[in-house]
């Protein structure tokens, strides 16, 4: 089986096939309806002709008073309604009428007036009288029952439609009118229609199929351009975009959707590249320090104190690398929605108190005033390990960027039906441009580069807030300080 790969050709073929089936079905139904209508019209015209002849004959006989007012004598034997003498009298009157009027002779149909004894009274068949064989009406059950019927006979292989009509005088059967018409014109018309259906329709379908292919090729040209352009877009080059027609049709919306997807892929790829570069940079410095200490220790004999110092530096850098790896692992799990929480009811005040206690001594050494205000007991549902890590990161940033003589104020209370923790410092503050980038991984403002850290703290804070469905809000003014609020749902 040949498989057509082109969508345009398949579309055109399906269109042509459906059109062919529809037109052929419509053509044959039209032929059947036309045939039925033509034959019905022929039968109707034959019936009208026979009734017209019957009315004309009876009217003539009434005018001539050929029919006596009193009924004819009763017939005791035989099959005829009138006696042979009376029937012969009526037949002569009918022939006299035809001789004067020539009604049968001028008829456009083949007409015979036949007595019930099969004698021909009138006929316009001429030389065909003996050649055309009319069926015996006495053997026609429909005629014998209703007084009229239709039949089809053949003469010289030509179909002829025949109508039998029984004529009555004074309510008694007298003669049979036989009216016939050849069906040559009808048969020729139906044959021509068949030829048109068999030849013209397939030819028209072929032209329609070609037109369908042409239109499909034209309307799918944007798809070809998108295919060509998409082949130039690779992982190394994501700057290209699919061409749009801006007609807002289905293809244009498809191109727009794919371009948006490429935008996201480019952003993700760029983020991965930046992530890789930042990770390499963050690993490079501590690894270089570790390598330098090891080389220095192996290059010459060193005292035990120097070796102890080198090992301490290596240990500190290793701890830093371990924290960095743990932070990255945490963010990877957060992105994959794989963070596991041990949810339970917590008293947030106690958790904050434990975090504050970790920083009291450090703040005292760095000359920073640490204040903790709590007014309400705040109960929430959450994971104490992750929440403690959240507030440690926020406290670490507050201490890191607050100068000597500054202050840090922590508040925990219920506000507007939610538990709110607010950490406010009088540090260096954050400018609006930097504020919009907070939470971006490895992003560090210029004033933060001199400080210790990898730029992952606020990313972890955002991830923990998201998994707890908490709302994080950061307000800051350069030179005045920063305030961070975390709002939780109450338990």
Name the residue among 373, 369, 351, 349 with its Cα closest to residue 360: 369
pLDDT band per the 50, 70, 90 thresholds, residue 69: very low
Neighbours of 189 (CB within 10 A): 15
Of residues 158 and 71, more confidently modeled: 158
* Domains annotated on the chain, with CATH: 7-189 (3.30.450.20), 250-335 (1.10.287.130), 344-489 (3.30.565.10)
Give the side-chain half-sphere CA count within 13 A for 191.
6
Of the candidate ranges 174-178, 262-266, 430-434, the one whose mean pLDDT is the lowest = 430-434
Q: What is the mean pLDDT of the chain?
A: 79
**Rounded distance, CA 362 to CA 383, Å?**
26
Ranges assigned E (strand) in 284-365: 344-347
pTM for this predicted structure: 0.47
Q: Is pLDDT of 148 > 80?
A: yes
Report the alpha-carbon distance of residue 186 to residue 183 in Å, rounded: 5
Q: Please report the pLDDT score of residue 46 as a whole number.
A: 93
- 453 pLDDT higher than 60: no
Q: Distance between CA 63 and CA 67 in Å, rounded? A: 9
Q: Give 147's DSSP letter.
A: S
> How would residue 275 be classed by pLDDT, with cut points 50, 70 and 90?
low
The pLDDT, as a whole number, for residue 234 is: 72
Of the ranges 51-55, 70-74, 477-481, which is most confident?
51-55
The per-residue pLDDT for range 369-417, each reduced to its tens digit, is: 888 887 778 888 888 888 888 888 888 888 888 888 888 898 888 888 8
Give yes or no for a contact between 474 and 435, defined as CB atoms under 8 angstroms apart: yes
């Amino acid at each position: 089986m040949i498989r057509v790969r082109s969508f345009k050709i398949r579309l055109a073929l399906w269109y042509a096939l459906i059109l062919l089936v529809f037109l052929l079905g419509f053509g044959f139904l039209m032929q059947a309806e036309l045939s039925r209508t033509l034959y019905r019209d022929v039968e109707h015209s034959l019936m009208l002709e026979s009734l017209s002849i019957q009315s004309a004959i009876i009217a003539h006989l009434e005018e001539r008073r050929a029919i006596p007012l009193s009924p004819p004598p009763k017939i005791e034997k035989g099959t005829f309604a009138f006696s042979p003498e009376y029937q012969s009298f009526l037949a002569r009157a009918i022939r006299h009428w035809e001789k004067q009027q020539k009604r049968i002779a001028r008829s456009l149909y083949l007409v015979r007036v036949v007595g019930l004894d099969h004698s021909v009274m009138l006929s316009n068949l001429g030389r065909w009288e003996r050649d055309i064989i009319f069926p015996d009406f006495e053997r026609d059950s429909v005629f014998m029952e209703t007084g009229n019927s239709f039949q089809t006979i053949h003469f010289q292989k030509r179909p002829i439609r025949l109508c039998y009509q029984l004529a009555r005088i004074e309510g008694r059967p007298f003669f049979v009118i036989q009216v016939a018409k050849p069906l040559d014109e009808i048969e020729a018309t139906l044959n021509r229609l068949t030829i048109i259906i068999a030849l013209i329709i397939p030819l028209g379908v072929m032209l329609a199929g070609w037109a369908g292919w042409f239109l499909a090729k034209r309307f799918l040209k944007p798809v070809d351009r998108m295919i060509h352009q998409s082949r130039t877009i690779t992982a190394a080059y994501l700057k290209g975009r699919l061409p749009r027609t801006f007609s807002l049709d289905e293809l244009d919306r498809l191109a727009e959707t794919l371009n948006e997807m490429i935008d996201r892929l480019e952003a993700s790829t760029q983020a991965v590249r930046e992530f890789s570069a930042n990770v390499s940079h963050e690993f490079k410095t501590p690894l270089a320090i570790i390598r330098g200490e090891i080389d220095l220790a192996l290059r010459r004999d060193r005292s035990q104190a120097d070796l102890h110092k080198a090992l301490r530096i290596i240990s500190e850098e290793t701890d830093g690398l371990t924290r960095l790896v743990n932070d990255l692992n945490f963010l990877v799990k957060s992105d994959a929605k794989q963070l596991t929480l041990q949810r339970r009811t917590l008293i947030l005040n106690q958790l904050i108190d434990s975090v504050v206690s970790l920083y009291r001594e450090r703040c005292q050494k760095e000359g920073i005033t640490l204040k903790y205000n709590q007014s309400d007991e705040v109960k929430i549902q959450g994971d104490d390990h992750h929440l403690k890590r959240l507030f440690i990161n926020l406290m670490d940033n507050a201490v890191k960027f607050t100068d000597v003589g500054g202050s840090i104020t922590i508040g925990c209370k219920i506000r507007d039906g939610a538990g709110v923790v607010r950490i406010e410092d009088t540090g260096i503050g954050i400018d609006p441009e930097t504020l919009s980038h907070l939470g971006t991984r490895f992003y560090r403002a210029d004033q933060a580069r001199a400080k210790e850290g990898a730029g992952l703290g606020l990313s972890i804070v955002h991830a923990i807030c998201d998994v707890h469905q908490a709302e994080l809000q950061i307000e800051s003014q350069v030179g005045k300080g920063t305030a961070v609020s975390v709002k939780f749902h109450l338990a």
